[in-house]
């Protein structure tokens, strides 16, 4: 049985999403990290559009447009403005070295595919086989959150994790109701503004965005 061209294209986009997740995990520069997040959002929007076209789920067209507006244009713009205001020019510092982090990431991908195998059998839709990749993207983003020392890079990792969850929802159920997606988008946007205020508070208190300095609060 020949695989439809749309499904082949979605599989390609899923592979690129996973590749970008690894690139973000290995990236040291904050500017490059934000640019990779924007590319991840673009691939996610395109994947959602293709799923909408393949399944005639018209509400997914709105989801694709919302993803393009929020995660490709607005959030990267806000993050660029934020690091410019904070005068962030240093490279991202990691708690463990990059080669070790990448090996852990590969192990998480293998774990994700093994864990998602029985779940994929219960899911419906043409993209159910992509649940493993979606879960791997989520776990890689979580790993990036755990191994970064700078607050800005942790926020980018959090937003990337949300991308993985959105891709998982698209893969398993052809998307969530539009009202739910609008609520999530609003929550993500508000969280970004809150994080921005939080960054300025950390900078004023510790003259640094290194989260390890927050351990001083335990001693006071």
At 113-142, the pLDDT tens digits run: 888 877 766 655 555 668 888 889 989 988
Chain mean pLDDT for the chain: 76
According to the model, what pLDDT value does residue 129 have? 65
More confident residue, 118 or 196: 118
Q: Work out the average pLDDT over 194-202.
A: 56
Taking CA atoms, 62 is separated from 40, 45, 68, 144, 189, in Å, by 18, 10, 10, 30, 17
According to the model, what pLDDT value does residue 53 have? 83
The residue extents of the domains of the chain are: 5-219
Contacts of 219 (CB under 8 A, 6+ apart): none
Assess whether pLDDT exceeds 70 at residue 160.
Answer: yes
According to the model, what pLDDT value does residue 20 have? 94
pTM above 0.85?
Answer: no
Q: What is the pLDDT of residues 62-120, one digit of tens each?
A: 888 888 888 888 888 888 887 777 776 555 567 788 888 899 999 999 998 888 877 76
According to the model, what pLDDT value does residue 131 have? 81
According to the model, what pLDDT value does residue 196 have? 58
More confident residue, 33 or 90: 33
Angle at 62 between CA 57 and CA 68, to 5 degrees: 125
Q: What is the DSSP letter of 105?
A: H
Q: Which residue has the tokens 């493993």?
A: 132
According to the model, what pLDDT value does residue 167 have? 84
Determine how many CB atoms are found less than 10 A away from the CB of residue 163: 24
Assess whether pLDDT exceeds 50 at residue 217.
Answer: no
At 150, the pLDDT band (50, 70, 90 cuts) reads confident
- β-pair partners for 91: 29
At 185, the pLDDT band (50, 70, 90 cuts) reads low
Buried b (16+ CB within 10 A) or exposed e, 98-122: eeebeebbeebbeebeeebeeebee
Altogether, the residues listed in the chain come to a count of 220
Q: Work out the average pLDDT over 40-60.
A: 85
More confident residue, 3 or 112: 112
Which tokens sit at 196? Answer: 């921005």
> Burial, 30: exposed, middle or buried (Cβ in 10 Å; 0-12, 13-18, 19+)?
buried
DSSP assignment of 15-60, as one string?
Answer: HHHHHHHHHHHH--BHHHHHHHHHHHHHHHHHHHHHHHHHHT-THH
Using DSSP's 3-state secondary structure scheme, residue 91 falls into: strand
């Amino acid at each position: 049985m020949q695989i439809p061209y749309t499904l082949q294209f979605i599989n390609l986009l899923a592979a690129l999403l996973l590749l970008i997740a690894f690139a973000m995990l290995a990236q040291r520069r904050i500017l490059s990290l934000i640019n990779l997040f924007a590319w991840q959002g673009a691939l996610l929007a395109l994947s959602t559009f293709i799923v909408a076209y393949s399944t005639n789920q018209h509400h997914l067209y709105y989801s694709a447009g919302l993803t393009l507006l929020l995660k490709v244009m607005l959030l990267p713009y806000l993050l660029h403005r934020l690091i410019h205001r904070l005068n962030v020019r240093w490279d991202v510092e990691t708690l463990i070295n990059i080669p070790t982090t990448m090996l852990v990431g590969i192990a998480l991908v293998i774990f994700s595919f093994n864990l998602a195998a029985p779940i994929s059998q219960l899911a419906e839709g043409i993209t159910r086989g992509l649940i493993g990749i979606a879960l791997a993207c989520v776990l890689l983003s979580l790993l990036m959150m755990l191994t970064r020392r700078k607050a800005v890079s942790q926020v980018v990792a959090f937003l990337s994790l949300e991308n993985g969850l959105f891709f998982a929802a698209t893969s398993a159920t052809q998307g969530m109701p539009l009202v739910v997606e609008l609520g999530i988008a609003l929550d993500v946007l508000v969280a970004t503004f809150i994080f921005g205020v939080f960054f300025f508070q950390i900078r004023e208190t510790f003259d640094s965005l290194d989260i390890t300095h927050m351990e001083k609060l335990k001693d006071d």
